[in-house]
Amino acid sequence: MKHRPATVVALALAALFAATVSGCASTPVASVTSVSATPSAEAIAPTPTPTPSVAATDAPVVVEELGKGEQDAAVDVEVAGPTQVAFRRITLHPGAGTGKHCHDGQLIAVVEQGTFTHYAPIYPGGVHVYQAGDSIVEGAHYVHEGKNEGTEDVVLLVTYVIPEGDPLAETDLSHCDPEQPAE
């Protein structure tokens, strides 16, 4: 397996940060217990409202667990060349979907809330349903679509690892390979 320096460095820094923060067990940390949003005509992502176990100013490090999911298989994230990393919270209201698209890189997501139906050629029968607490890994270039076919909002916490300058989601399907399975 050939590693790309930018990806290896980014992943190593993320692992180092996670190990450093998780190693601060004796340090008081805040925990998120509620999420609030300000309604308006345009969609606004919810903002976490920390409820600290101690005053936030007393803690030298504050950690907010935004989501956690598990994968049964190994995860290999590799993107050629300079890489951008982006984090998003995406909310799909009942009946909404992402539309068909692909990615030039890879992404890892956690279903924070709801039931997410994912249509892609990588699954037997072309569909897989994810519940709150499940994680999703999407490879590069295959066409897929996510939908909220339930009655409550689906909230996804998504990390994109995409070549620098490329869109996070490619909606021009001529740039995708509809038969390409996940790598």
Per-residue pLDDT at 178: 61
Per-residue pLDDT at 60: 87
Mean pLDDT of the chain: 75
Mean pLDDT of the region 7-29 = 40
pLDDT of residue 150 exceeding 90: yes
Per-residue pLDDT at 125: 95
pTM of the model: 0.65
Instruction: Choose the weakest-confidence range: 51-55, 89-93, 96-100, 128-132.
Output: 51-55
pLDDT of residue 108 exceeding 60: yes
Is residue 5 classed as helix, strand or coil in its secondary structure? helix
Looking at per-residue confidence, does 76 or 17 come out higher? 76
Per-residue pLDDT at 71: 81
pLDDT of residue 43 exceeding 80: no
Nearest to 53 by CA among 33, 32, 30, 34: 30
Looking at per-residue confidence, does 27 or 124 come out higher? 124
pLDDT of residue 3 exceeding 50: no
Annotate 96-165 with DSSP letters as a single string.
-B--SBB-SSEEEEEEEESEEEEE-TTSGGGEEEEETTBEEEE-SS--BEEE--SSS-EEEEEEEEEETT
**CA-to-CA distance for 162 and 138, rounded, in angstroms?**
11
pLDDT of residue 1 exceeding 70: no
Instruction: Choose the weakest-confidence range: 39-53, 60-74, 130-144, 158-172.
Output: 39-53
pLDDT of residue 17 exceeding 70: no
| Tokens (6 digits) for 23 | 């190693």
| Tokens (6 digits) for 66 | 């935004």
Percent of the chain clearing pLDDT 90 (strictly above): 51
